[in-house]
Structure 1
Amino acid sequence: MFGGVDLLRNLIIGEDAPLRVIQETIQLLGEGTIPCITILLGGNLTQGIKSSCIEPLTLISVVLVRLFLLPSIGLYIVRGAASLGFLPLDPLFQYVLVMQYAMPPAMNISTMTQLFDAGTEEASVITLWTYSASTISLTLWSTTLLYVLH
């Protein structure tokens, strides 16, 4: 809203803006977000190493579905939407959309489990193994998508 309305944008964004302290505060808080998330991810992954509360078959199923089946479904969705005219036919745009399906789970899930103190160990184990397996799956998906979407 602030970026789209000139009057509001000029109030907050810019060197001469009367309320630029709001933008500077948001920018200062935003710069600290990445290091905090990295520390949170490291803490969650160490919990996953110590715990073995999930059966191996369940863990393998979660990793395979999350990193291989979901991107396959996403590829068909993106290709279908592009062929129906909902998306541009730009291969790079489609590549980025499908790669979003192939990424490991977000840190928001781990944060929610810690806040509600429910399923923290399970989320840590799943996060550890999906991030470990994503090194292989992201390479495979990137190569496959470059071949398919060219």
Structure 2
Amino acid sequence: MSPPVVGAILGFIFGTITLLRNLMVGDVAPLRVIYDSIKLLGKYDFPNACNIAGTMTQLFEIAQEECSILYFWTYIAATVALTGWSTIFMWILSS
């Protein structure tokens, strides 16, 4: 059960059950902030982009080391940025 599989299962559950869907989707949905956050994160689909670029470097057998270093620092920056953003967001909500 990898995270994408769990996410897909939860998406199917929330998408098929009208009561759950109405809680998150729509202009007056009480939990629409969760939906908006998921949509924003899914829009950029970072892991997919990394897999495509990694596959291209393997296919042509060039720049594999450089690509690995780039991905390493990108994951580090993404982790710090996501943690910082979540902390600031929760701080704003608690004020």
Task: Give the TM-score, by structure 1 length.
Answer: 0.33
Task: Give the TM-score, by structure 2 length.
Answer: 0.48
Greater share of residues in helix? 2
- Higher normalized contact order (CA 8 Å, seq sep 6+, divided by chain length): 1
